[in-house]
Amino acid sequence: MHADNAPTGVLPDAVMTEDEAAVEARRIIADAYRPAPQTPTAYRDDTPLPAHGPTPPVAQPGRPPMSQGASDASVLMLAGATATTMVGGTAAVLMYVSQYADPLVCGLVFGAPTALLLALARLVNRAKPAPDIHHHYEGPVHQDRRTVHTRTTGVWAKTNNHQ
């Protein structure tokens, strides 16, 4: 392409011959596929991962995998063991330091809060609302929601079922 035929907006200095343009295009393509050593190459795959699939879960370091209920019970047992150890240690130190404390009285004084806490924990567990139960069925389904009251009486066992 000659300077006289240059498109508008292009300076005459920037006009190349077809051979120069081909050489420059090859250089640009080669540079694109050959990153400089200082420039790290990175790729981020933004496709969403499946929620579950054929790959089994991998156990992570720390606590072993267990259900939510087992995990809650484990934490509760650890907390109870810690509280019991503190109460027992305090009673032992008190009896050793005083050299006069009665073990029965210490057991009653230090055991009462633990018994109270256990009773309160049991009361709180009973006060929890019943869980929502969701059933998913496909096809025709019949649900029988009758309640049957069973009563067995007498020397010769006789069972009466009433709805």
Q: Is the pTM of this model over 0.85?
A: no
The residue extents of the domains of the chain are: 3-33, 69-126
- Interval 21-31: pLDDT, tens: 999 999 888 88
Strand intervals (E) in the chain: 149-153, 158-162
* Number of other residues whose CB lies within 10 A of the CB of residue 87: 19
- Interval 80-111: pLDDT, tens: 889 888 888 887 888 888 887 787 887 787 77
Structure confidence at residue 117 as a pLDDT band (50, 70, 90)? confident
Find out whether 141 and 126 touch, Cβ atoms under 8 Å.
no
Structure confidence at residue 114 as a pLDDT band (50, 70, 90)? confident
pLDDT of 26 reads: 92
Mean pLDDT of all residues in 14-19: 83
| Distance (Å, whole) CA 162 – CA 31 | 88
Find out whether 150 and 161 touch, Cβ atoms under 8 Å.
yes
